Each structure stands twice: as C-alpha cells, then as structure tokens.
Structure 1
Amino acid sequence: MSHFFRLIHNENVKIYKRMGTWVMIGILVLVVALVGAFTKFVLDPGSNADWKSQLTAENAQLTESLETAPMLEAQKRLLKERIALNEYRVEHDLAPMERDSLWGYMVDATTFTGIAALFTIVIAAGMVASEFSWGTVKLLLIRPVSRTKVLLAKYASTLLFAVLMLVLLFSTSFLFGMIFFGFTGAETPYLSYSNGRVVQQNMVTHIIELFGFRSIDLIMMVTLAFMISTVFRSSSLAIGISLFLMFTGPQIVQLLSQYDWVKYILFANTDLQQYTTGTPLVEGMTMTFSIVMLLIYFGLFAFLSLFIFNKRDVAA
C-alpha cells in the first residue's frame, strides 16, 4: 500500500510542477473575483424593497395560468410549488435571496464548476497519453508495482485535482462574496418544497448540495477523458471529445427527450438535481435509475481503461 501512496505522491508532483496547472488555478480564482466585482459594481439587480407585493402579483398570475392555460401535470405541480413558496415567504417575512448578496453570489458561483471540469479534463487527458508521447511509460512500468496500481494512482491524482478545484471554487467564492457583499442577509434560509409542505434549510448546506450535484457531471466527464487518454494515447483527442460531449451532450438529450430510450444515455442522468428542483427528463425516470446508469457508465469507462492499459504492449 505504501508503494501505491508513493505513486499518488509522484503523480501529484508531476501535476503541480507544471506551469500550466498553476495558470489554470489562477484563471479560476480570477474568474470568481471578476464576476464578483461585475455583480457588485456593474450589474443592476433591481429593487427588492417591495418584494411582498411582487410575490403577491406573481402568485395571482400563476394562479390564473393554472386555471386557464393548458399544461402537463408536471408543469402544474411546479407552479403550485412556486405559489406555496411565495406564500410562505410573504407569511413568514422571508425576502427572496438577492444576487448581490453573499449567498446569491455563491449560488451563482456553483455554475463555475464547468470551468473546474474543463481544467480537470485537461489534466486527465494528459495523465496517461503524455507518458506515451514523452516515452516515459516504460520507466513507469518497470517499478515493482502492478500496472493496475499505476493506473489507479494516476486516476486518483486526477480526482484529487478535481477536489482541489471544487474546494478552491467554494472557498474563493465565499471569500470574495464576503469582500464584495458582506454578511447582509446571511441568516436567510433556503426554502424547498417537500412532501406537500415548505421546508427551511441552512443556506450553506444548500450550496454544498449544489456543488455536489454539479460535481457528478465533472467526475463522469473526467473519467471519460481519462479513459480516452488511456485507450487512444492521445491527449488532444481526449480533450476534444470530452469537451464536445460536455457542451453538446445535454442539448442532444433535450432534443431527443420525446423518445423513451434517451434515458439510457449518460447525459440524461448526470443532472440528479432534476429530481429535487424540477421534473425528470423522461417520465418515469427516478434518482435510483439515474444512479444505477451512472455506475454502469463509470464501470464501463474504468474497465476499458484497466483492460487496455494492462494488455498494451509498450516494448516498442
């Protein structure tokens, strides 16, 4: 086991000794800071002083839509939940979360996990392919450890980098949120609708959950990039295919959502938040089904990576 952790240490040294790694880290921090400054000094969030009247008017419109507009049962359910949340806010004097606040900014910052995914894909794509392109793979495999451990150490180091990016994103968004917006409204709870009633939740817990939901897509795309890098020994191919699928996959499954078989596609299952805040892509899909599909795809990517890497002849 000590050999395995030594391998992980060596792989982390390879990652962080590259200037490109620190440039990516710097870009992520810079983006978080710039968006915070833009939200604070440029973006006009609008007045929230008369929010009770606004919510009351919104509920009147939603109620009218429920009574007159034709819609699916799922859409009706969402409108009823929105009405219940608005009524709860007015009744308990809980103003909606503003974008120019600490929590509002941090919620917006969860969308930057896409940037973290992009940078981690770049790292994953080069973990194995670079060993072949640099001709160092034979030196790597003469060590007294199995090929499986070598590959697992590389994958584990990639996931550790992904975790670092997520922790960095969370901590910097909190830091810049405090700098730009202070703690005004920090006591505001997050409201959700569950089992026919409105439930209050700690906002920090909610934001951590958002990061968790968004990290699922990150992990799957990084695993895909790692697999392509291992199978085809090409970092450019791994980056190209992974980024193309990351940006177009969700749109493709939305276009095909009228077909029942689309639920078996990876990108129909990476957004588990569809079961907590919206409606499933395909009627009848459940969170359990999506988790099982994700595990199947993850197992397939892992199997292909291990099988090809262990069978590949590197003598030439």
Structure 2
Amino acid sequence: MLQLLQNEWMKIWKRAATHVMVVLLLLSVIAIGAITKYQENGLSVPDNENWRQGLEMENKEYQKQLDEGTVSPDLIEYTRSQIAINEYRLEHDITTNVDYSVWDFISDSSELISFAGLFTIIIAAGIVANEFTWGTVKLLLIRPIGRAKILFSKYLSVILFGVCLILVLFGFALLLGAILFGFPESSTPYLNYHDGKVTEQSMILHLLITYGLNSIDLLMITTMAFMISSVFRNSSLAVGISIFLMFMGGTVTYMLSTKFEWAKYILFANTDLTQYFEGTPLMEGMTLTFSIVMLCVYFLIFHMLAFFVFKKRDVAA
C-alpha cells in the first residue's frame, strides 16, 4: 500500500499543472496581503479611551431592536451573540483597541480554502478518469494487487494533496502576515459565543479550528469528484459538476430550506459545521450530531459507488 501511495504521489507532483496550482495559491495569498497592507482604512485602530461607553451604547441599541422586533429573524441570534460578547468584554476588561495583525490576515486568507479545494477537485477528477483516457489503466491492473487497494491509494493521495495545500496556505499566510503586519503587542483571546455562553480561545487554536471546519466542504466535494471520475471515467464531467456544486450548492440549498423541510438532508446543508459553533443551524431541528451522521452517509455512498463500479468494470476493451 505504501508503494502504491508513493507512486500516486509522484504522479501528482510530476505534472507541471500541480506546481502551477501551488504557485497560484501562493500568489493569491500575496495579492490579499498587498491589498490589505496598502488599503487606506481598516488596519489601524485608534486608541479609543471611551471604548467601554461605546460598547454599552451599542448593546442598548441592539436590545432596543430586539424589544421592538425590528431585527430580521435570521439575525436575532447574531444580535444576541454581539450583546453577550460586548458584555463579556466589559466584564473582563477586554478592549476593542486591537490593530490588524497576523492572526487577522490568516483568518482573511481562509477564504482561499475554496481556491485550494478547486485545485484538489481537478486532481481528484482526473486521477482515475485519466488512467482510462490514456489507456494506462490496463498496465495498472495487471499487477497482483487488488483493485480496491489501487483505488484507495489514489483517493488517499488526493486527500493528502488537499491537506498539503491547506497547510501551505496556512503556513504561508502565517509567514507573510508576520512580515507585513506583525504579531499583536499583547495576547488577545478570540471570544466565541455558543449556546448562550461566551468563552475565550487562543487565536491560534481558533484559526486551526476554522481551517479544519472550512475544509469539510473541500473533503466532501473532492470525494464526490473522485466518485464521478471513477464511475463515469470522465474528468471534465467530474470537474464541471463538482465546481458547480461547490459554488452553487450552498445557495440552492438555502433557497430550498426556506420552503421544504427535507432540504436539511441535502449534503450542502450539513457541510458548514461552523453553524453549530458560531451561528445558528440552517433549519430548526438540525444538530451537530445530525450533520455529522449525514456527512458520514454521503461519504459512504460516494465510496460505495466508486469502489463497486471500479471493481466490476471491464477494462479489456
């Protein structure tokens, strides 16, 4: 298995397109850093001695909106979270006078996880389909190795490639952010609101959790692209469907959730696990356990289809 994994890993990195993907990801981080560094506003926070009064006034306005019912139903929980966080700041004397730093830059760079996901999808869509297109699948299957092991090594290589891109993104954002913006002068915790309570998290732990949770969508879409590649032997189809669902799946699911209760069973209603930690579930009745179970079900279905079809396919022709 290790030898198979090494072979697949070498195949991925021998392609010039793979190196172009990494370079494009790094250039994207640099572009965000350059734009953020030289923008006129938003980086420097003035030393506001009356920040406590500002938070108190903000809370009064939020509470007034809640009492009068002028807050949109979708924003009620968000408004309550802001009130709770402001109260926690006041109680524990955590100032809002914090300049933009490397932690903020890493957080902003997390938007590029979808960009890394796009590259991973391209690799997943071609890693099986291209074997049939190039005719190399026959040479691959004449080895005294089970088809399941061959397919699993390809899938594992794709996932490792995706993890590699996420680590490169995080590491380069950390390096570039430290150079451009530096570290904060004092350690400021991240205030997390969950189940009506506010807790403190170290910024590095919060960012690691953020990158991890945001990678769930990447994992599921990549697995689907791998399944389509294995079943239909068409990399273009796999890329097209996967990219479309990656960017439109969430929007379409949200629209359906406003009218149909069964929308909660759709894959994209469950890929955003941050809704259970820093927001509200997409639909009433959804829980973290429910979403994890749904993700596992889809994950198993994708793999069952991919492995079943690949093991039964006749490649003699």
Question: How does 1:220-231 map onto structure 2 within 5 Å?
Answer: 220-231=220-231
RMSD: 1.8
Q: Cα deviations across residues 283-314 of structure 1 (Å, max 9, x unaligned)?
A: 01001000000000000000000000001100
2:261 equivalent in structure 1: 260
In structure 2, what is the equivalent of residue 39 of structure 1?
36
Paired with 2:61 and 2:300, the residues of 1 have a C-alpha distance of 48
Query: Residues of 2 paired with 1:118 and 1:99: CA distance?
Result: 32
Q: Which residue of 1 aligns with 2:65?
A: 65
Residue type at the aligned position of 2:180: F
Equivalent AA in structure 1 for residue 6 of structure 2: H
Amino acid at match of 1:266: L
Aligned equivalent of 1:294:
295
Aligned to 2:85: 85
Residue-by-residue CA offset, 1:73-122 (whole Å, 9 max, x unaligned): 77444322211211222343323486731111111111110011000000
After TM superposition, the structure 1 = structure 2 runs for residues 234-249 of structure 1, keeping only pairs within 5 Å, are 234-249=234-249
> Number of residue pairs matched?
313
Partner of 1:177: 177
* TM-score, length-scaled by structure 1: 0.94
Which amino acid letter does the alignment assign opposite residue 294 of structure 1? L
Which stretch of structure 1 is more off in the superposition, 57-66 or 24-33? Answer: 57-66
Report if aligned partners of 1:221, 1:242 keep a CA contact under 8 Å in 2.
yes
Instruction: Quote the Cα distance in structure 2 between the aligned partners of 1:53 and 1:277.
Output: 26
The alignment status of 1:133 with 2:130, answered yes or no, reads no
SS of the residue aligned with 1:199? strand
Q: Residue 101 of structure 1 aligns with which residue?
A: 101
Say whether the 8 Å CA contact 1:225–1:238 is kept in structure 2.
yes
| Structure 2 partner of 1:15 | 12
Question: Take 1:97 and 1:150, find their aligned partners in 2: how far apart are those partners?
Answer: 55
Residue correspondence of structure 1 range 207-226 to structure 2 within 5 A: 207-226=207-226
- Change over 3 Å in CA distance of 1:91–1:185 after alignment to 2: farther
Stretches of structure 2 that go unaligned for 5 or more consecutive residues are: none
2:26 maps to which residue?
29
Tell whether the 8 Å contact from 1:227 to 1:305 is kept in structure 2 after alignment: yes
Match of residue 305 from structure 2: 304
1:37 to partner: Cα distance: 1.7
**Pair 1:239–1:208, CA change in 2 (3 A):** same
Structure-2 separation of matches of 1:65 and 1:260: 29
Other structure's SS at 2:284 match: coil
1: CA distance, partners of 2:85 / 2:274: 18
**Are the equivalent residues in 1 in contact too, given 2:124–2:225 (CA < 8 A)?**
yes
Provide the secondary structure at the position in 2 that maps to 1:279.
coil
Question: How far apart, CA to CA, are the structure 2 residues paired with 1:243 and 1:108?
Answer: 22
Structure 1 residue 257 displacement after superposition: 1.3
The amino acid across from 1:146 in the alignment is: G
In the TM superposition, what is the alpha-carbon distance from 1:277 to its structure 2 partner? 0.9
Aligned equivalent of 1:120 = 120
Contact 1:39 1:100 in 2 (8 A): no
| One-letter amino acid of the counterpart of residue 143, structure 2 | R
Helix, strand or coil: the match of 2:128? helix
Whether the 8 Å CA contact 1:227–1:302 is kept in 2: the answer is yes
Q: Distance in 1 between matches of 2:8 and 2:99?
A: 40
The secondary structure found in structure 2 opposite 1:256 is helix
Could you tell me how far apart the structure 2 residues matched to 1:140 and 1:276 are?
45
Percent identity, please: 49
2:251 aligned residue: 251
Between stretches 82-91 and 166-175, larger displacement belongs to 82-91
The structural deviation recorded for 1:197 is 3.3
> Following the alignment from structure 1 to structure 2, what is the Cα–Cα distance between the partners of residues 170 and 186?
22
* 1:103–1:186 CA contact under 8 A, matched in 2: no
The alignment's TM-score, normalised by the length of structure 2, stands at 0.94
Separation (CA, whole Å) in 2 of partners of 1:98 and 1:125? 44
